[in-house]
Amino acid sequence: AKVSGKSQHQVFATKMHEQALKRLQLEADLNQAIANEEFELYYQPIISFTTGKITGFEALVRWISPTRGFISPGDFIPVAEETGLIVPMGKWILETACRQMQSWRSQFPEAEQVTMSVNLSSRQFSQADLVAQIQETLIVTELDPANLKLEITESMVMDDVENTIILLNELKELNIKISLDDFGTGFSSFSYLHRFPTDTLKIDRSFVSNMSQGSKNIEIVNTIVILAHKLGMDVIAEGIETVEEKEILAGFNCEYAQGYFFAKPLKQDDATELFVNKAQW
């Protein structure tokens, strides 16, 4: 419809221009967000199937912008990744999470065995000084490396297998733990899996949430657990929302559970309270 008198082409060009401006504004706001302290870490508990207790937390970043409101990490992490902003942001995330973990450790003796999981982005993972940076963060925060777990994804490790193995072994030597996140969604090659010194495999939510409908996902999940155990890895099932899902995973001898059924990602104070007051699931 030529209501405005503009040609299709002009309308299209205007749209493109608007989109480019929006993206530039997002980048500019994101750039300011670190200095303005607009990021916050939330912590989602990870529960042991055997004890029913919290054995760890995953740190998940939140951006609360004064002008935009709440922006989901799914919307800004990719932008931060493309622009390289993820590097300073990732530094802040790692340090804040380690500081939080050390604070729990110093307050609660039972936190000694708890691990803090921190997501690494692929850009961070390919930084030449990653290991040195992590070491420095552990020194600054005084956190025992055994309390830190890094979450990496299949696509990150498959990019450059030989280098990844060297890097992961360096991290293992520091006594840091490693989780393979979103397992099953990427292009993992089973022939490499046994060469990665990973402690834990996280089954992606997409498999877990479609289990109860009698689909093949039940068999897939069971097979992933068996495979992980054969390779000497523990398993975390993520995205558990129902008691049925919980029961199925427990029956497969999966070690750890994470998901809304237990708790959503929580603000620092709420996470602390849950850890102290919620004894058992």
**The one segment of 41-49, 145-153, 191-199, 218-226 that binds Ca ion by CB under 5 A:** 145-153
Residue type, 200: T
Q: Which residues are bridge partners to 44 per DSSP? A: 58
CB of 251 to Ca ion, least distance (A): 22
Alpha carbon distance, N-terminus to C-terminus of the chain = 60
Do 59 and 116 contact (CB within 8 A), yes or no? yes
The H or E element containing residue 226 is: helix 217-230
Residue 168 within binding range of ligand C2E, rule CB under 6 A = no
Identify what 45 binds: Ca ion, ligand C2E, none; CB under 5 to 8 Å per kind: none
Of 182 and 234, the one with the shorter C-beta distance to Ca ion is: 182
**The one segment of 55-63, 125-133, 210-218, 221-229 that binds ligand C2E by CB under 6 A:** 55-63
Residue 181 within binding range of Ca ion, rule CB under 5 A = yes
> Residue 260 to residues 114, 142, 183, 253: CA-CA distances in angstroms?
20, 31, 19, 20
Q: Which 15-54 residues touch ligand C2E, going by CB under 6 A?
A: 44
Pairing of strands 54-65, 69-71: antiparallel
Classify residue 130 by burial, with Cβ atoms within 10 Å: 0-12, 13-18, 19+.
middle
Q: Which residues are bridge partners to 117 per DSSP? A: 58, 149
CB of 86 to ligand C2E, least distance (A): 6
Chain mean position to CA 191:
24
Of 184 and 265, the one with the shorter C-beta distance to ligand C2E is: 265
Residue in 193, 228, 265, 266 binding ligand C2E, rule: CB under 6 A: 265
Residue 239 within binding range of ligand C2E, rule CB under 6 A = yes
Residue in 17, 260, 267, 273 binding ligand C2E, rule: CB under 6 A: 260
Residue in 102, 115, 119, 258 binding Ca ion, rule: CB under 5 A: 119
Smallest Cα–Cα separation from 190: which of 176, 180, 177? 180
Smallest Cα–Cα separation from 209: which of 193, 198, 220, 225? 220
Residue 34: CB atoms within 10 Å: 15
Residue 186 within binding range of ligand C2E, rule CB under 6 A = no
Do 207 and 201 contact (CB within 8 A), yes or no? no
Residue in 29, 95, 151, 255 binding Ca ion, rule: CB under 5 A: 151
Of 73 and 145, the one with the shorter C-beta distance to ligand C2E is: 73
Three-state SS at 173: helix
CB of 61 to ligand C2E, least distance (A): 4
Residue 182 within binding range of Ca ion, rule CB under 5 A = yes
Q: Which residues bind ligand C2E (CB under 6 A)?
A: 44, 59-61, 72-74, 77, 93, 119, 121, 181-182, 205, 239-241, 258-260, 265
Q: Which residues bind Ca ion (CB under 5 A)?
A: 119, 151, 181-182
